[in-house]
A and B are shown apart, each in its own frame.
Chain A
């Protein structure tokens, strides 16, 4: 069971969290301007990263907040967790 560092609450066991998919996917402000191909890209296409992956988690059984994390998918190590709307910490991203 992983230990995840909620940016609001601190380190908690994985049981309290829910995975919420790839991070930094922004819903288009006006989806009607996208053609089918672009919309399908947004809707369905996801990275299948081997290594450092930016992803979202929700502290579902804690503060309820969504946040972002950088996790190495090969080792399950978390390089960083950071708040929604902020960019991934550069140092951690370099840790690839």
Chain B
């Protein structure tokens, strides 16, 4: 066994020896180790290079707060996870980890040059230096900075694993299974509550597992934790969630948990998910999130081998690892004495305990001295020596050789989740820390996270919190649990220290680090103050202190104290930077869950989807819908297909799936009045069996949606909407129906998915339908343009519309969606000898543009009135009111200089304008130039043998015949302003 691993003790499984690799070297470890404890057991302290200066860095902590030990764990090329904290990676057989931010190797890192040049890299260096030339931002500076100041690299292959998500409700959610959390769980479980208890570690117990030398009920604290966990596990109303981080606290007691199911396994099981995201709605929450030991800020405090004292104790007692051979301790409080005594008992020699207190007294000091440890009082650290590992410490009383420096500045309550819950933090002068004040949620903090560090008090506080969280109906114990009699432990004075040690900023001293992970030193914070930064939020952003992936867990309070001293205000006034979720980095996979690939968004398909797919249709996404865009024949490109499809429709007939149009059935005695009030058109005058093109404005007078509306019966309308607008139109209708006009007796039902809509368009369309439609006279006299009839098609009930969006004689066959495909196939068969083609949305777009029919959202943009779009003819002039009418009466809405819809014909008919291109009055203008409007739709029209475009142009209708210019990178394109109707302006073909 190595010199670093003890012969016995700890909670590792010494019977299960496993091996792992770090930076290519194979090391032994035990089941139950973390990567950190296993590395330390092999004498490896150097685990990373710092972010900015590339200084060698070692393991600082034993938990989630670890700032230095970030590694990439590799299972395969797709399962490569960067930036994991070595302290939270559970060791498994065959684990492969590599260090980060070093080149070519961890021991010989070229970036170390940055440290030698550090005088040139003060806080704000990037902001000051990489300003000019502007063109170099993206091409030169950013890539260099990103490479030099880097973290791990993301894997390049898609994540092959499954991530689950689960919702849960409980009476009491307890976050953290240390002494307070376990006691709270016992109390809540005893009262019969539904309890959930989560902890980020594999094992419950928190500080009881390593850093607590006490006995509870006569057992070692760790053994007691195990017994309590088993007892809770047997309770069916208790859910235990180990390896589960409560990463976020959301309103109304919703807590986000991330459970890691297979990260710790040598060979992950095939079945279960890799991680599970829990969204727990808890009636009450008990936060028992513990505390984080506060590092001391002294010169040279970042060498590998400098570590938090409590971490060294945890490595020894929990993992059986001696972190060094000879340790010096620097402390402001009693807790480090227990660490020194534990280490000494395990065979580590203690160079000295340097106590910052001028006159420490009590049993801990006596015990240390009695065991022969040199205790230096009123001490201070002047620096350290060593390179890849600390070799000695310079104290005021001299230099002490050591390979480990352990420090303790007291403990900082972990108030992250409490703060996220919007609870108010209160500054505690004796604790020199922020502690929970007034709660904003049904929540209570317990134990060390509210500054109660003493074991008996923490257990008592936790038990009370769990009991208080019980529903009123629950039965409570008659007598309180007396923890004092159950615990044997010596009291500890946790006197905190805050800020830099005296003289840490003196010239000539080594760098004194405040934020290890972002390489922020005392001098950086002083520079920020000198340069005028006062707000802690500004200092944070300027120096980047607390902005690394550890979110300043070890650094924030020290940084604030230093800033407070620099600018001469009390710390409580400096304020705290915002705590944000997640508590520790959480994977994207966990948040995405099953919503990826095909399941990212639902896909809506029409009844004819399979038919179109079988014929090689090219689809486009319209909202969530898949729509056939065109049906290319072998060797045909889109333009070829569209030209052929359009020509076939105009010469014979075509069939088009229009099922995605929104459809709303408006029914009731008040239906006509309801539509009268909403749409700009008049509906009471519409005869049963007829239809009308309707326009819906918002109250501000701008076009919101459009569509054909048919009157099926006196009290029943079939309303169609745009494909994308269906939900919002229904919502707007419901709003007016429910809240403005509840007196109208009218009902609204979405029928979009109930009807398949097959458009049959072209001069032969009537002949095609005549073969398969029964019960309807299709003649122009009996069924004119804009009419609707009920009948049968192939024996299927149909609402048959005579309507055209192509400019040709046309029909739209509405049949129940289940019959859509059969009727579609029947129509295709019936048209086989009449020149029938199937056409897609692209041809539909071209043909409607040839007719000047707008598409809401393409030719309109939310600032177009009906008149701007040339549709003022649709307004029901006799109506006293409709939604938008009052706005349309405003003077600016009637200005002749408003942008109006016009046609544009390029002087060179082969040139097709770009949609979105701007329109200018004169050629040769230099930007910025006055612009008249822009091109909204542009196509090549096969039937006209020329390009066509729709555009919105200021005062457009008064410009008919003018030549305007579309400025493009290659020069201006001249185009004549025309009517937006390019084809069959008299409508003779529609009425044929």
Contacts and interface: CB of A to CB of B under 8 A. Distances in A.
Q: Do A and B come from one complex?
A: yes
A66 B251 contact: no
Contacts of A34: 886
Contacts of A58: 731, 734-735
Contacts of B738: 65-66, 84
Interface string B262-295: 0000000000000000010100000000000000
Contact of B885 (A31, A66, A85): A31
A59 B71 CA distance: 47
B250 interface: yes
A31 B888 CA distance: 11
A27 interface: yes
A2 B252 contact: yes
Interface string A9-52: 00001000010100000110011101010010001000000000
Given A32-B880, A64-B734, A75-B440, A1 B254 contact: yes
Contacts of A64: 734
A63 to B, nearest CB: 11
B347 to A, nearest CB: 53
A16 to B, nearest CB: 13
Contact of B739 (A2, A31, A60, A66): A66
B942 to A, nearest CB: 44
Contacts of A80: none
Contacts of A93: none
Contact of B886 (A2, A3, A39, A56): A39
Contacts of B254: 1
B889 interface: yes
B890 interface: yes
Contacts of B740: 26-27
Nearest to A36: B890
Contact of B881 (A2, A30, A84): A30
A32 B889 contact: yes
B223 interface: no
A76 B251 contact: yes
A78 B700 CA distance: 31
B234 to A, nearest CB: 32
B699 interface: yes
Nearest to A65: B738
A34 B738 CA distance: 24
A18 B254 CA distance: 19
A34 B281 CA distance: 49
Given A75-B422, A76-B251, A32 B881 contact: yes
A20 B735 contact: yes
A43 B700 contact: yes
A39 B700 CA distance: 10
B742 interface: yes
B887 interface: yes
A3 B885 contact: no
Contacts of B440: 75
A75 B440 CA distance: 8
Given A32-B881, A34-B886, A2 B734 contact: no
Interface residues of A, number: 25
B281 A3 contact: yes
Contact of A31 (B250, B279, B422, B881): B881
A13 B739 CA distance: 23
Interface string B240-256: 00000000001110100
Interface string B874-887: 00000011000111
Interface in A73-89: 75-76, 84-85
A14 B740 CA distance: 24
Contacts of A65: 738
Contacts of B700: 43
A75 B735 CA distance: 27
Contacts of A85: 739, 742
A36 B227 CA distance: 76
Nearest to B727: A60
Interface in B699-713: 699-700
B252 A18 contact: no
A61 B354 CA distance: 64
Nearest to B882: A31
Contacts of B251: 1-2, 76
A76 B251 CA distance: 8
Nearest to A18: B731
A1 B890 contact: no
A31 B700 CA distance: 12
B450 to A, nearest CB: 21
Contacts of B887: 39, 43
A31 B887 CA distance: 9
A16 B735 CA distance: 17
A83 to B, nearest CB: 10
B250 A30 contact: no
A36 B281 CA distance: 49
Contact of B734 (A13, A31, A66): A66
Chain A CB within 10 Å — which of B251, B699, B886, B890 has the most? Answer: B886
Nearest to A68: B739
A85 B254 CA distance: 32
A20 B732 CA distance: 10
Contacts of B889: 32
Chain B CB within 10 Å — which of A26, A30, A66 has the most? Answer: A66
A31 B886 contact: yes
A85 B741 CA distance: 11
A27 B700 CA distance: 13
B100 to A, nearest CB: 35
Contacts of B886: 31-32, 34, 39
Interface in B308-351: none
B881 A1 contact: no
Contacts of A31: 881, 885-886
A36 B885 CA distance: 12
A94 B440 CA distance: 20
Contacts of B731: 18, 58, 60
Contacts of A76: 251-252
A42 B38 CA distance: 69
Contacts of A30: 880-881
A40 to B, nearest CB: 8
Contacts of A27: 699, 740
B735 A66 contact: yes
Interface string B739-750: 110100000000
Nearest to B735: A66
Contacts of B252: 1-3, 76
Chain A CB within 10 Å — which of B252, B699, B885, B891 has the most? Answer: B252
A84 B890 contact: no
Contacts of B699: 27, 43
Nearest to A29: B881
A89 to B, nearest CB: 18
A26 B252 CA distance: 31
Interface of B: 250-252, 254, 279, 281, 422, 440, 699-700, 731, 734-735, 738-740, 742, 880-881, 885-887, 889-891
Given A1-B279, A32-B880, 7 more contacts: A1-B250, A18-B731, A27-B740, A31-B886, A32-B881, A34-B886, A64-B734
30 contacts: A1-B251, A1-B254, A1-B279, A2-B252, A3-B252, A3-B281, A20-B735, A26-B740, A27-B740, A31-B885, A31-B886, A32-B885, A32-B889, A36-B890, A36-B891, A39-B886, A39-B887, A39-B890, A43-B699, A43-B700, A56-B739, A58-B734, A58-B735, A60-B731, A66-B734, A66-B739, A76-B251, A76-B252, A85-B739, A85-B742
Interface of A: 1-3, 13, 18, 20, 26-27, 30-32, 34, 36, 39, 43, 56, 58, 60, 64-66, 75-76, 84-85
Q: Which 3 A-B pairs have the closest CB atoms?
A: A31-B886, A3-B252, A66-B738
